[in-house]
Structure 1
Amino acid sequence: MSKGIDYGKLMHRAMRGLIHEVLVGVQREGLPGDHHFFITFDTGHPDAELADWLSDRYPDEMTVVMQHWFDHLDVGEDGFTVTLNFGDQPERLYIPYDAIKTFVDPSVEFGLRFESQDEAEEDDDPTPPPTSGPKPGSEKAKSGAPAHKDAEVVRLDQFRK
């Protein structure tokens, strides 16, 4: 007898596939119109590749912007490489899809957020979150590496100016 349908895992795979498909289009045709992406990823992921000075500066997570200038976008099945400009210093990054925490295109108010299983369980807690201190799911609130990640649609209010 099977243990049931793991909808979270299926959504996780589908949303990572959506990111892959979007990036393939950008690789082929460039960013259309006002589209641009904020991509937050786990810099400690074992397959992530970034310059030592970037991993020293961002030991847990980093948000990159793909908008006006990016180069050498190469989209693969498990992740993508891109060269981005950090203060007039081009750096090549490899970002595995499994390392992505958020993917947001503010030009069309679209976003995805991938949470760990621990964070999803915290959301099920009926106790309201504290009014001060780190938010559940924030870098300071985490304790240890997530064992399993699920996908969730992110609220875009946090990215608005």
Structure 2
Amino acid sequence: MSITNQTIDYGNLMHKAMRGLIYEVLTDISANGLPGNHHFFVTFDTMHPDVEIADWLSDRYPGEMTIVIQHQYESLAVTDRGFSITLSFGDTPEPLYVPYDAIKTFVDPSVEFGLRFETQDDEDDEDAPEAPMEVMAEPEEDAPKKDAEVVSLDQFRK
């Protein structure tokens, strides 16, 4: 458990859990492929020091980039720190490495599920935890279809 100054750091604990969820999903996809209509939009910080992308991609996307993991991907390899994948950009295969810490959003629109990680730079409150997060939850199957619901974890912050 992460206890700092006699408080539990729920924000960082949730981030660790949600990054673990991404790890588990990608590990399964790497071993078994994408089931059904599942696919992912992954937005990440291209300026993160551990991101590895071609120079022309970082020049074209100098702050963040969204990739789609769906039909045309190769060499998906997952570690406990991040994942590598080869995607085609205009028929040119490009290898990428994305650490989990660089991920800003992870969305599976086929089931209306997504995670959004925010950094302290996105917050006006300097006393905010380093990385608050929002979870976009899937609606219940019997409920009428509507936009994905966003649940803010800000209520747990002091």
What TM-score do you get using the length of structure 1 for normalisation? Answer: 0.77
Compared CA separation, residues 118 and 58, structure 1 to 2 (3 A):
closer
**C-alpha offsets along residues 71-120 of structure 1, whole Å, 9 cap, x if unaligned?**
00000110000000111011000000000000000000000000113535
Q: Which runs of 5+ in 2 are unaligned?
A: 139-146, 149-158
Relative to structure 1, the CA distance from residue 121 to residue 11 in structure 2 (aligned partners, 3 Å threshold; closer, same or farther) is farther
> Which residue of the partner structure matches residue 29 of structure 1?
32
Q: Does 1:79 align with 2:82?
A: yes
Structure 1 position 50, deviation (Å): 0.2
CA contact 2:115–2:133 (8 Å) conserved in 1: yes
After superposition, residues 1-161 of structure 1 pair within 5 angstroms as 2-121=5-124, 148-154=130-136, 157=147
Cα separation, 1, equivalents of 2:54 and 2:39: 23
Q: How many residues align?
A: 134
- CA drift at 1:151: 2.2
Task: Give the structure 2 partner of residue 141 of structure 1.
Answer: none
Q: Distance in 2 between matches of 1:121 and 1:12?
A: 20
User: Is the Cα–Cα contact under 8 Å of residues 48 and 94 in structure 1 kept in the other structure?
Assistant: yes
Relative to the length of structure 2, the TM-score reads: 0.79
More helix by share: 1
User: d(CA) in 1 for partners of 2:26 and 2:137?
Assistant: 21
- The answer to whether the 8 Å contact 1:74/1:82 transfers is yes
2:112·2:136 contact (CA, 8 Å) conserved in 1?
no
Determine what percentage of the aligned residue pairs are the same residue: 63
RMSD: 2.1
CA distance in 2, matches of 1:72, 1:19: 17
Does the CA-based 8 Å contact 1:15-1:151 persist in structure 2?
A: no
Q: Distance in 2 between matches of 1:60 and 1:70?
A: 23
Q: Secondary structure at the match of 1:72?
A: strand
Q: Secondary structure at the match of 2:7?
A: coil
Amino acid at match of 1:90: P
Q: Distance in 1 between matches of 2:43 and 2:55?
A: 18
Counterpart code for 2:80: E
SS in 2 for 1:27: helix
